Amino acid sequence: MSPAVTALTLLSPLTGLLVAGILVPLLLALYFLKLRRRSLPVPTTLLWKRSVEDMRANTPFQRLRPSLLLVLQLLLLAFVAFALMQPRMDLGAAGGGRTVILVDRSGSMNATDLDARRTRLEIAKEQARDRVAKLFDVGLFAPAPGEVMVVAFADSAEVLQPFTRSKADVLRAIDRIQPTDGASRVRDALALARAFTTVTNPDDPNAKPTMGAALELWSDGRIADLGEDALRPGEELIYRMTGRADARNAGIEGISAERSATEPGLMQVFVTLRNDAPEPIETDLELLVDGTRRSVTPKPVSIPAAAETVAEGKKQYRPGTARFTFPPFVQPRAGTVGVQVVRADALPADNVATVAVSAPRRLRVAMVGALDFAVRDVVAALPVEKAVAVSAADFAAGGVKAAEQYDVVVAAAGALPDALPAGRYLVFGVPKGVSGLNPFATKEKLGVRTERREHPLLRAVNLDDLFVARATAIAPGTDTEAIVEAGETPLVVLARRGPVTAVVVAFDPLDSNWPFQRGFVTFMANAVEWLGAMDQAAAQEEHHPGDVLTARVATGVRAATVTLPDGSTQEVTPRDGAVAFGPVQRAGTYAIRWPGERGEERRTYAVNPADGEGRIGAAESVSIGVQQVSGVSGGGAALSDLWPWALACSLVLLVVEWWVYHRKHWIRRTPARAASALPGAPIIRGS
Amino acid sequence: MSTYFQDQPKPKRPTRVDELVGNALLAKIGQLDIVSRKIFSGKLQGERRSKRRGQSVEFADFRPYVHGDDLRFVDWNIFGRLDRLFLKIFLEEEDLSLVIAVDTSGSMDWGDPSKLLFAQRLAMTLGYIGLVNHHRVSLAAFGGAGGLRRLNNLRGRRKASEMGKWLLDLEPGGADTFEESMKTLALSRQGRGVMIVVSDFLLKDGYEKGLRYVAGRGYDLWCIQTLCPQELDPAAHGLAGDYRLVDAEDRDEAEVTASPALVEQYRANLGAWCAGLRDFAIRRSMMHLVVDTSTEMDALVLEWMRRRGLVR
């Protein structure tokens, strides 16, 4: 038996039994009346047979005579045909079961293509409120209101209201939905909804959980992971299309800012522009520094049109993109650098992208312990402010303060204390102070099997020819990131333990051929730069809604203040020398401030809208699993099946038709016609 | 309303002659006589004019005397005036042969009043008229259980009882033998006269062949088609709904739904059937009458048949 059959639910079995109990015997009785022919002797069947043949042998088409039976039968057929079409209509009917209201609050729902003064999300909330009002209306077609749940989702899902029969609670939950600039991901929302809709029978541990709910999705349909899911038995997805399919948008896909390596006071800004319109557009760009317009592009930037291509039988959408680099400009201070598209469209949020830049500062690097010459020479050659060799004893004696003096500590594993002070470390060998590495043996003759080429540590690093003669085999825990792995053990891992971040190289470079390769130098530079930049608000790390903003603060800092893009502030409490805030919901500039030794310290974060939200043209249908669900406009519709009513009408018509038919043939007590017995003939007629 | 369609018991059949024709009707029809549109020669001297010149008192014509003529019929007055012999010619009065053929097939034993009963009463009435006028009355029953049955050469009022008993003894039923019976009657004709066929003429094999045997063979032929009210207008007598109609003669079945349209079609076909018989009769100098069995015998004989010229 298929799951769909087991999930069959009879919403009103009593009504069905009542109708069947009345109509079926009545119909059968009528059929019995019809089928039982009475035997009647007649003088001759000659004329009767001839009459029947005459009736049948008439031409196939004859003049249509008005007949009540004909009208009734036509009506009956019309109702049956209507029922077969499975009509649905907004009758304000509550489903009687469970309804999950899923509201997309991603960045694209902030578009104002439907109404210039209201965003899609505001319209969706209004429609959802109307829908809830109808779901809780009790009328002829809704004997009892069902339960309603409210879930809002973007990067993550949030249950704003578990299943309830309280209309007021549901409406309040809908009102609490706030917009975000995040991406559309519905998987968490579906998982949450299913967690509530799955009902298990506690009395019967062997019973299968029963599920079933109508999922009403208010969205523009641009949901990245909807196709990866599938409807389960009993579930029904109603996609309430919110937005126009032909809505067009152009915006900034990405932004980055870099200081010149030779002149740190000079900064360059790079932007990637995106066009979702089917025709190319041209737009001016403004460069904003701390919110003030610094420059404008000398001529409009052209962005090609978006296109849909068909590859391997599937349509692939490719937005038009263009890259633009602003000329270097002097920015000796920390601050925010932004780019604005000077062009009005339905989604203003992605017309501005901002990055926070720190003041130009060179790194201070400490070399702790007996590092081999290869490491020492490479570190000394890096463009850092200073690279100081510190003995293991001095580093251990300095404790936390010693670590705070340096941005990056390059150390041999044996030179580090058992309890590592907060800081960022590049360690050769396996240090005891980093938990979760679990060294267990020494492995020899290792080659690289896998590597995470996309990681900043391995940028432009080729490890194909790396051969390691001897390395410490470790079994890192799940919270440790393996960057380079040999067959039997990771060779380079990244471990984060609160305020401690360590890049651990599990072998001595001199036990390998790495120092003789160009990739070693590049790796060292990447590691020092990446570890050092972790503390800076450098533009290299771009934030998006859903991210958690963190800042490293000195131990002893009790409170920090977060300034949100709208100017409001929130107090947060640092823990273990770090401040964490988020996940952030809206795009814009965030700032974390905390008291430091030299006065108030501040770190600025630029949060830009999520990728992929720039395509705001609403999808006319969505795919969930293999099922295609067409969007319905408006949110007030409470679709009810009309086919049972049509079927009931046809049954009633059938009974009426039978009644009329038999009434025509009831024996009427009419006086016998004595005269003119034959057509046109007297009672006695002769030649 | 007739109740024949309501499956009620058939009406009781008469057992006495006076149930066939009452005394009141006998008194009325005692003065009537059967009229033949043709003048036939009879076998015995009777009360009817014959084609042959004879010895009656009714003068017909003169003709010149030829050798061998009976001198008793010479008109001597004319001889005295003209001195030429002329013979007086008188119309001879002879008896008339009246043959009444009654259909006793199964289809006649149906209707309220029954067609067979009506035919018996009609045969008794006409036969009585024939008897009282000293005609040679012969009766025949065809289509019944015993095939063709005959009662020949009755004359005089005294034979009325015998004729009535013979009619009462007729048993309905059996298959249609119309053609064979008519052929037999035509071949065994005794003299010329009037032949009256009383039947419903609802014959599956058709009436044409049978009637051709007796038409124009010395008979002044009358076809009296008896139909009961239930046949004439079934809807008015309760025929509605779904039926399995069973033929009274051959047990043939027909499943019908007696809708108004079908009944109307039946009536049209019945009308066409009767019209066909009437046309057939006109072409062969026969007389045709359609008679509703609910018609009073007085009215039928004294008015309609007198008006149509069968009796006077």
DSSP assignment of A99-153: EEEEEE-SGGGG--SSBTTB-HHHHHHHHHHHHHHHHT--BTTBSS--EEEEEEE
Mean pLDDT over the full length of chain A: 79
Structure letter (DSSP) for residue A512:
B
The DSSP string of A573-601 is --BTTEEEE----S-EEEEEEEEETTEEE
Token look-up 């016609």 returns: A673
Q: Which residue of A has its CA nearest to B108?
A: A43
Contact B245 A664 (CB under 8 A): no
CB within 8 Å of A431: residues ≥ 6 apart: A411, A413, A416, A420, A425, A437, A502, A504
Is B108 at the interface with chain A, CB within 8 A? yes
Give the pLDDT of residue A52: 83
Give the pLDDT of residue A235: 79
Contact A672 B2 (CB under 8 A): yes
Mean pLDDT calculated for residue range B145-169: 88
How near does any CA of chain A get to the CA of B303, in Å?
11
* Domains A250-345 and A364-533 belong to one CATH topology: no
Chain A residues 9-48 within an 8 A CB cutoff of chain B: 34, 36-48
So where are chain B's domains? 14-39+95-308, 49-94
Is B302 at the interface with chain A, CB within 8 A? no
> A90-246+622-641: what CATH class?
alpha beta
Q: Are A49 and B254 in contact (CB under 8 A)?
A: yes
DSSP element (H, E) containing A317: strand A314-318
Q: Are A676 and B269 in contact (CB under 8 A)?
A: no
Give the pLDDT of residue A639: 55
* Stated length of chain A: 687
The DSSP string of B50-116 is EEEEESSSEEEEEEE--TT--GGGB-HHHHHHHSS-EEEEEEEEE--EEEEEEE-SGGGS-TTTTHH
CATH fold for the domain made of A364-533: Rossmann fold (3.40.50)
- A496-529 exposure pattern, b = at least 16 Cβ within 10 A, e = fewer: ebebbbbbbbbbbbebbebbebebbbbbbbbbbb
Coil vs helix vs strand at A441: strand
> A250-345: what CATH class?
mainly beta
How near does any CA of chain A get to the CA of B136, in Å?
26
Chain B CB contacts of A57 under 8 Å are: none
Of B200, B266, B281, the CB nearest to A48: B266
Cα-atom radius of gyration of chain A, to the nearest Å?
A: 39
Q: Which residue of A has its CA nearest to B256?
A: A52
Chain A CB contacts of B117 under 8 Å are: none
pLDDT band at B303 (very low <50, low <70, confident <90, very high): confident
Is A57 at the interface with chain B, CB within 8 A? no
What percentage of chain B has pLDDT greater than the value 70? Answer: 86
Q: Which residue of B has its CA nearest to A49?
A: B254
Distance CA A360, CA A356 (A): 12
Is the pLDDT assigned to residue B253 strictly greater than 60? yes
A307 phi and psi angles, rounded to 5 deg:
-145, 155
Distance CA A566, CA A118 (A): 19
Structure letter (DSSP) for residue B305:
I
Q: Are A120 and A511 in contact (CB under 8 A)?
A: no
Contact B246 A39 (CB under 8 A): yes
DSSP element (H, E) containing B268: helix B260-283
Contact B256 A48 (CB under 8 A): yes
Q: Which of B235, B249, B292, B218 is nearest to B103 (CA)?
A: B249
Mean pLDDT over the full length of chain B: 82
- Beta strands A235-241 and A314-318: pairing type? unpaired
Q: Which of B218, B164, B158 is nearest to B191 (CA)?
A: B218
Q: Are B114 and B66 in contact (CB under 8 A)?
A: no
Chain B CB contacts of A672 under 8 Å are: 1-2, 229, 233, 236-237
Chain A CB contacts of B227 under 8 Å are: 677
* Stated length of chain B: 312
Chain A CB contacts of B197 under 8 Å are: none
DSSP element (H, E) containing B264: helix B260-283
Percentage helix, strand, coil for chain B under 3-state DSSP, each rounded to 5: 40, 30, 35
Token look-up 């066409």 returns: B272
Q: Are B290 and B227 in contact (CB under 8 A)?
A: yes
Mean pLDDT calculated for residue range B103-114: 88
Contact B246 A684 (CB under 8 A): no
Chain B CB contacts of A32 under 8 Å are: none
Chain A CB contacts of B175 under 8 Å are: none
The distance of Cα B218 from the centroid of its chain, to the nearest Å, equals 15
CA angle A292, A295, A296 (to 5 degrees): 120
How near does any CA of chain B get to the CA of A73, in Å?
17
Give the pLDDT of residue B3: 45
CA angle B275, B278, B281 (to 5 degrees): 155
CB-based burial of residue A404 (10 Å sphere; 0-12 exposed, 13-18 middle, 19+ buried)?
middle
Mean pLDDT calculated for residue range A379-398: 86
Q: Which residue of B has its CA nearest to A677?
A: B232
Distance CA B86, CA A399 (A): 187
How near does any CA of chain B get to the CA of A145, in Å?
51
Note the CATH number of domain B14-39+95-308. 3.40.50.410
Is the pLDDT assigned to residue A114 strictly greater than 60? yes
Q: Are A231 and A623 in contact (CB under 8 A)?
A: no
The structure tokens listed for A672 are 């016998």
Chain B CB contacts of A687 under 8 Å are: 278-279, 281-282, 286-288
The CB density around residue A386, as the number of other CB atoms within 10 Å, is 10
Q: Which residue of A has its CA nearest to B277?
A: A687
Chain A CB contacts of B266 under 8 Å are: 47-48, 51
Is the pLDDT assigned to residue B2 strictly greater than 50? no
E-strand spans in A168-234?
A: 213-219
Is the pLDDT assigned to residue A136 strictly greater than 90? no
pLDDT tens digits along A38-51: 888 888 888 898 88
How near does any CA of chain B get to the CA of A35, in Å?
8
CB within 8 Å of A110: residues ≥ 6 apart: A119, A120, A121, A179, A181, A347, A349
CA angle A14, A20, A21 (to 5 degrees): 85
pLDDT tens digits along A4-45: 333 334 444 565 567 667 766 775 566 556 556 788 888 888
CB within 8 Å of B24: residues ≥ 6 apart: none
Give the pLDDT of residue B279: 93
| Lowest pLDDT segment from A161-175, A448-462, B91-105 | B91-105
Between A639 and B280, the more confident residue is B280
Q: Which of A176, A75, A78, A241 is nearest to A620 (CA)?
A: A241
Give the pLDDT of residue A382: 86
Coil vs helix vs strand at A50: helix
DSSP element (H, E) containing A381: helix A373-381
Contact A42 B252 (CB under 8 A): no
Of A41, A48, A680, the CB nearest to B248: A41
User: Amino acid letter at A68?
Assistant: L
- Beta strands A549-552 and B136-144: pairing type? unpaired
User: Amino acid letter at A525?
Assistant: A
Give the pLDDT of residue A2: 37
Give the pLDDT of residue B72: 82
The CA–CA distances, whole Å, from A386 to A364, A380, A400, A420 equal 5, 8, 19, 22
Q: Are A151 and A101 in contact (CB under 8 A)?
A: yes
| Cα torsion A539, A541, A546, A552: sign | negative
Is B37 at the interface with chain A, CB within 8 A? no
So where are chain A's domains? 90-246+622-641, 250-345, 364-533, 549-607
Edge-to-edge order in the sheet of strand B253-258: A38-42, B241-247, B253-258
Query: For an interface test with B, which of A35, A46, A673 has the most B Cβ atoms less than 10 Å from its Cβ?
Result: A46
Distance CA A149, CA B180 (A): 96
Long-range contacts made by residues A49-52, C-beta under 8 angstroms, separation at least 24?
A: A49/B254, A50/B269, A51/B256, A51/B262, A51/B265, A51/B266, A51/B268, A51/B269, A52/B254, A52/B256, A52/B262
Long-range contacts made by residues A378-382, C-beta under 8 angstroms, separation at least 24?
A: A378/A520, A378/A521, A378/A524, A378/A525, A379/A410, A379/A524, A379/A528, A381/A521, A382/A524, A382/A525, A382/A528
Between B174 and A116, the more confident residue is A116
pLDDT band at B211 (very low <50, low <70, confident <90, very high): very high
Contact B232 A684 (CB under 8 A): no
Is A680 at the interface with chain B, CB within 8 A? yes
pLDDT band at A670 (very low <50, low <70, confident <90, very high): very low
Q: Which residue of A has its CA nearest to B294?
A: A674
Distance CA A582, CA A180 (A): 13
What percentage of chain A has pLDDT greater than the value 70? Answer: 81
Write down the ipTM of this complex.
0.81
How near does any CA of chain B get to the CA of A65, in Å?
11
The structure tokens listed for A30 are 């009528």
Chain A residues 156-215 within an 8 A CB cutoff of chain B: none
pLDDT tens digits along A528-551: 888 887 655 444 466 888 888 888
Is B229 at the interface with chain A, CB within 8 A? yes
How near does any CA of chain A get to the CA of B311, in Å?
15
Contact B247 A44 (CB under 8 A): yes
